[in-house]
């Protein structure tokens, strides 16, 4: 009861703020379009009337776009809603492309907090005075976001030289502020799942959980440091991508210290040209890095906007801010590869089958109808110049069409699509005549051959068969124990249990024969 009352009071504050910016109307339209019951929109309807707008003091003129209004309101509502807006920018299937695009520009910037508080936090977390930890510490923050702000400092190295570092410090009280709004969002998500069966496929509770997990990682800077270390390990020996090294001695839950990166912002074409960089070479390098993260490693930087990426003096690319990371398992990477191949070959039935095989679309849906819907995405772009094709938008169209076929939301793919949009935006800003994905085409083609060609598919099937067959020794041991028990006690197992055991043994033995056949086929292909 107390939780419901607390969340209702917070909800009234949120509704009034949205009304002041004239943002309730656009949100209401999106929610109604998703099929939410009218009873959940009473407050929205009341507060979007002319009288209510006068009462709430609508701040923005009528000519502002809906997405701009929502972004401005979220910015005023504080850190949790800034992050929520950035997450919703990936959900063009819910809000439409225009609103999602406006939300993607929502800047994660807040006024800096007192540097004395930052110093006190650092000293409390690291158990030492600032002067003992750093040879120099700049009280002027270089950036201030919703969760943390960053200061530059210098440290003494073991060789006696000094090194420039960046020190990230959490905002005071940020954990409590997020906990309040996350509880509200979960309460609303649970309410939607209980009362709106049609919306369960959107998995609102799962979306909020994913959001909460992302926030949890961002508010424990040790986890962000670990993410940076993992990404750096994936690119060990590859000078084209630089991840700043973590100073673990000066890192704790609320403080993280890393090497300081310098360079030109990724989207500053004029500065890159003035510095003598070849724009196509920079974009080729960026495309290869993105491809390696997504397909080779299945672990990618989840917030690759231009403010987080720099071109260093040597032309290599550096990245910062590792609070949001995405993971794609092997099955999902293969799904993406097979879907891309299907589109390139105009084999829309294959694209549809990939979705069914992955379990994204329920088997109760029509494969033929889904293939026809996919054709409506592929045919309009076929034959167009590659620089005019946005693969990220194509993926977004696919998600929206799949809604009619009860395809469940895939948070990891939505984050990937958001980053693809960012990459395409930077590419077109630097050189509109280029398509960033075609620059990585040789890598893509080689990866396809190695992972989705006939030999790779046979090896994958062999691995699956051997994994299944690996259960055989345990099953035979269980059968032997059962036989001994029968001999000792005279009590026979129930016939149903015996049949189930026999079926399990047959399922384990069969893959051995399948593996032998597939290995023979692989040898023949190699001859």
- Environment class of residue 489 by beta-carbon count within 10 Å: exposed (0-12), middle (13-18) or buried (19+)? exposed
Provide the pLDDT for residue 35. 46
Are 273 and 421 within one domain? Answer: yes
Cα separations (Å) of 274 from 99, 241, 277, 307? 35, 22, 8, 19
Average pLDDT over residues 130-146: 94
Q: HSE on the CB side for 200, CA within 13 Å?
A: 6
Let me know if residue 130 belongs to a domain. Answer: no
Residue, of 460 and 434, whose pLDDT is higher: 434
Are 356 and 488 within one domain? Answer: no
Phi and psi for 21 in degrees, rounded to 5?
Answer: -95, 5
Asked which of 75, 108, 141 is the last residue of a domain, the reply is 108
88 Cβ contact partners less than 8 Å away, ≥ 6 residues apart = 94, 95, 100, 103
Q: Count the domains in the chain.
A: 3
Long-range contacts, 48-53 (Cβ 8 Å, 24+): 48/19, 48/22, 48/24, 52/19, 53/19, 53/22
Are 305 and 352 within one domain? Answer: yes
Beta bridge partners of 167: 151, 257
Q: pLDDT by residue (tens digit) across 461-501? A: 555 555 555 555 665 666 556 555 555 555 555 565 556 55
Are 24 and 61 within one domain? Answer: yes
Are 421 and 323 within one domain? Answer: yes
**360 DSSP 8-state letter:** S
Options 303, 329, 338, 488, the catalytic residue: 303
pLDDT band at residue 48 using 50, 70 and 90 as cut-offs: very low
Let me know if residue 440 belongs to a domain. Answer: yes
46 near 52, Cβ under 8 Å?
yes
Question: Which range, 50-64, 251-265, 491-505, is most confident?
Answer: 251-265
Are 335 and 305 within one domain? Answer: yes
Distance linking the first and last C-alpha atoms of the chain: 72
Distance CA 350, CA 334 (A): 13
For the chain, the residue count is 527
Q: Which domain holds residue 463?
A: 455-526
CA-wise closest residue to 457 among 444, 465, 467: 465
Cα separations (Å) of 423 from 63, 277, 437? 30, 18, 9
Let me know if residue 394 belongs to a domain. Answer: yes
Are 91 and 47 within one domain? Answer: yes
Tally: H helices and E strands in the chain: 25, 11
In degrees, rounded to 5, the angle at the alpha carbon of residue 106 between the alpha carbons of residues 149 and 387 is 115
As a whole-number percent, the residues of the chain with pLDDT over 90 amount to: 29
Residue 351 pLDDT exceeds 80: yes
Let me know if residue 385 belongs to a domain. Answer: yes
378 near 391, Cβ under 8 Å?
no
How far does Cα 48 stand from its chain's mean position?
Answer: 33
Residue 521 pLDDT exceeds 70: no
> Is 278 noted as a catalytic residue in this protein?
no
- Environment class of residue 442 by beta-carbon count within 10 Å: exposed (0-12), middle (13-18) or buried (19+)? exposed
């Amino acid at each position: 009861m107390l939780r419901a009352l607390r969340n209702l009071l917070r909800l009234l504050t949120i509704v009034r703020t949205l009304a002041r910016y004239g943002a309730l109307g656009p949100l209401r339209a999106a929610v109604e379009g998703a099929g939410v019951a009218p009873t959940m929109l009473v407050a929205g309807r009341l507060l979007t009337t002319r009288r209510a707008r006068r009462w709430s003091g609508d701040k923005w003129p009528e000519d502002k776009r809906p997405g701009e209004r929502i972004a401005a309101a979220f910015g005023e509502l504080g850190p949790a809603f800034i992050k929520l807006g950035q997450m919703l920018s990936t959900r063009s299937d819910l809000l439409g492309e225009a609103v999602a695009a406006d939300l993607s520009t929502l800047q994660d910037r807040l006024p800096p907090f007192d540097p004395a508080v930052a110093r006190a936090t650092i000293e409390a977390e690291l158990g030492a005075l600032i002067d003992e930890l750093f040879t120099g510490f700049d009280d002027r923050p270089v950036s201030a976001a919703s969760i943390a702000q960053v200061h530059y400092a210098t440290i003494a190295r073991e060789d006696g030289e000094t090194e420039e570092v960046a020190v990230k410090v959490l905002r005071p009280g940020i954990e409590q502020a997020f906990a309040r709004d996350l509880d509200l969002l979960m309460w609303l998500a649970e309410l939607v799942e209980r009362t709106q069966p049609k919306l369960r496929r959107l998995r609102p509770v799962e979306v909020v959980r994913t959001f909460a997990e992302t926030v949890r990682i961002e508010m424990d800077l040790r986890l962000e440091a670990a993410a940076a270390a993992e990404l750096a390990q994936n690119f060990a020996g590859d000078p084209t991508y630089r991840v700043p090294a973590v100073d673990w001695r000066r890192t704790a839950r609320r403080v993280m210290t890393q090497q300081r990166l310098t360079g030109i912002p990724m989207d500053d074409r004029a500065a890159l040209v003035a510095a003598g960089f070849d724009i196509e070479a920079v974009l080729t390098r960026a495309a290869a890095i993105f491809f390696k993260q997504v397909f080779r490693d299945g672990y990618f930087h989840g917030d690759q906007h231009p403010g987080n990426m720099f071109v260093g003096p040597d032309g290599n690319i550096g990245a910062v801010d590792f609070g949001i990371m995405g993971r794609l398992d092997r099955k999902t990477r293969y799904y993406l590869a097979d879907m891309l191949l299907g589109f390139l070959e105009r084999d829309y039935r294959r694209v549809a089958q990939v979705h069914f095989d992955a379990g994204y679309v329920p088997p109760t849906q029509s494969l033929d109808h889904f293939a026809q819907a996919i054709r409506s995405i592929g045919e309009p772009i076929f034959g167009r110049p590659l620089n005019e094709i946005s693969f990220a938008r194509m993926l977004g169209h696919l998600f929206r069409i799949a809604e009619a076929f009860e395809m469940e939301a895939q948070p990891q793919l939505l984050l990937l699509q958001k980053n693809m949009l960012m990459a395409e935006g930077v590419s077109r800003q630097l050189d509109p005549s280029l398509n960033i994905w075609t620059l990585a085409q040789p890598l893509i083609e080689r990866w396809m051959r190695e992972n989705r060609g006939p030999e790779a598919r046979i090896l994958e099937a062999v691995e699956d068969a051997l994994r299944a067959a690996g259960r055989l020794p345990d099953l035979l041991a269980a059968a032997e124990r059962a036989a001994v028990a029968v001999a000792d006690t005279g009590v026979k197992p129930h016939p149903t249990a015996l049949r189930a055991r026999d079926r399990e043994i047959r399922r384990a033995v069969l893959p051995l024969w399948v593996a032998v056949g597939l290995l023979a086929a692989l040898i023949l292909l190699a001859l």
